Amino acid sequence: MSTENFELPDVGEGLTEAEIVSWHVKAGDTVELNQTLCEIETAKSIVELPSPFEGRVVELFASEGQTVDVGKHILSIETAGASSGSEAPAAAPQAPAADLEFDAAQADAASTVSTEGAESGANSVLVGYGLGDAPTTRRRKKSAAPAQPTRPAQIPAPAQPSHRPPAQAQAPAAAGAQTQARPGSVPAASASPIIAKPPIRKLAKDLGVDLSQVEPTGLAGETTRDDVIRHAQQASVFKNLETPIWGEVREEKHPVKGVRKATANAMVSSMFTAPHVTLFTDVDATRTMEFVKRLKASPDFAGVKVSPLLIVARAVMWAIRRNPMVNAAWTDEEYTVKHYVNLGLAAATPRGLIVPNIKDAHAMTLHQLAQAIEQLTYRARDGKTPPTEMRDGTFTITNIGVFGMDTGTPVINPGEVGILALGTIKLKPWVFEDEVRPRMVTTLGASFDHRLVDGDVASRFLADVATIVEEPALLLD
């Protein structure tokens, strides 16, 4: 036996501290390799820390809500020696034969996971993704499997012949009940159509969505992630007429930390470092909405979320190619013009505002870009955005239209020199072909760092984006 101290690792380049959000273990618990120990919150993401050791937790050195410096011990684990392997078979004869077979299968699975973890190396799992939850999930499913065969095994009673007729009468009845239970679930679902996987149910709970009010669009009548998110957007806080009642406490004080602290520092640094200049333009987005509708009906985009943001993102990258200075970075000594686009998308999450970015978005097809936006959005809402997605952005889009806002003055993301705000798209009177007609109109707003982006460059860039929004067919040229 030996005691190993687990230090808080640097899960992102330059991380100096992190907050312990929640512990998944306590003193005295037995942990396995790659089992999740705790969740930590870095500047703008929550990361699961897997265990690099097997053994028993001796002590936790930090409590939930405590901020810990990188490199400091957060817990100690008493690792199991060779004697632990010899103790396990000694306890095996106390279990029934059926349990022995299951324990053997479980041991094989555990050894397989341990081997995979050893081959992958410690550095590959410390970011908290991939291997942490899989062993626990598989074992839980297997632990429930042996319980089912024991039930039909108790139905026949050959040792008591006098009870055979009742037993035989009950066996078909039980079999019939089981047979009816399976197809019976379909009518039950049709009466109350709530077919959703556990992650979808959790998402609905987090967003405050009643699944019974959501219209499912899945192939088998199940509720999908898009269904839940769409319903949440339709029943947004701006349409909620209920007003919460203040409690007896007159004031609430909250420590400035985590996402709020990182956002505050970034915005202050940006506003008082980069001289902002903001431009606005109204755009007829009718053809963009028609294009989005055609993409949604296309088999090539089946199962992929398509929205006007996709077209605007593609328009931004087209405009950047024509005005590369808006995709640059400034320092007092030099500025760097980047011939690639790591497209940032501002995301409002339950934890606050974050700006993850899509690496090399300029090299993606329209379908690939749609998938990347969808996956980035889901990770942000689930609090699973890795630190690597928060770095090295080159240009940002903030979609304030989803909140019903027409436009705004966006603040430049530090390290970049430009940001575009997409307003809501709605019917307005518009002069089209010399007549006033109802058209789908939006307002684009863009802020630039005036140290590097001159007014003519900013104007040409915004005009180029507006051109694509007005006529998205130009993207196909």
pLDDT tens digits, 31-63:
988 888 998 887 667 788 888 888 889 999 998
- The whole-number pLDDT of residue 442 equals 96
Q: DSSP readout, 62-122?
A: S-TT-EEETTSEEEEEEE--THHHHHHHHHGGGS-HHHHHHHHHHHHHHHHHHHHHHHH-S
Strand segments, DSSP code E, in 328-466 are: 328-330, 335-337, 343-349, 352-354, 357-358, 395-399, 418-422, 426-432, 435-449
pLDDT tens digits, 122-172:
333 343 333 444 444 444 444 444 444 444 444 444 444 444 444 444 444
Helix (H) or strand (E) holding 3: strand 2-7
pLDDT tens-place values along the chain, 477 residues long: 788 888 888 776 567 888 888 899 998 899 988 888 998 887 667 788 888 888 889 999 998 888 888 889 899 988 865 443 334 444 444 444 444 344 444 444 444 434 444 343 333 334 333 344 444 444 444 444 444 444 444 444 444 444 444 444 444 444 444 444 444 444 443 455 588 887 788 788 877 788 888 888 888 788 888 888 877 766 554 445 566 778 788 788 888 887 778 888 888 888 888 899 999 999 999 999 999 999 999 999 988 889 999 999 999 999 999 999 999 999 888 999 999 999 999 988 877 888 999 999 999 999 999 999 999 988 888 878 888 888 899 999 999 998 889 999 999 999 999 999 999 999 999 999 899 999 999 999 999 999 999 999 999 999 999 999 999 988 875
347 contacts 355 by C-beta, under 8 angstroms: yes
Burial-class residue 459 by CB neighbours within 10 Å (0-12, 13-18, 19+): middle
| Residue pointed to by tokens 């898009």 | 226
Tokens of 56: 């028993």
Report the alpha-carbon distance of residue 403 to residue 423 in Å, rounded: 9
Tokens of 301: 């985009």
Residue 362 appears among annotated catalytic residues: no
| Residue pointed to by tokens 């053997």 | 104
| Residue pointed to by tokens 């299968």 | 105
Report the alpha-carbon distance of residue 368 to residue 364 in Å, rounded: 6
Tokens of 231: 């319903």
Rounded to whole angstroms, the maximal C-alpha distance in the chain is 98
Q: List domains and CATH numbers for the chain.
A: 2-147 (2.40.50.100), 198-234 (4.10.320), 275-476 (3.30.559.10)
Set 73, 276, 367, 450: catalytic member:
450
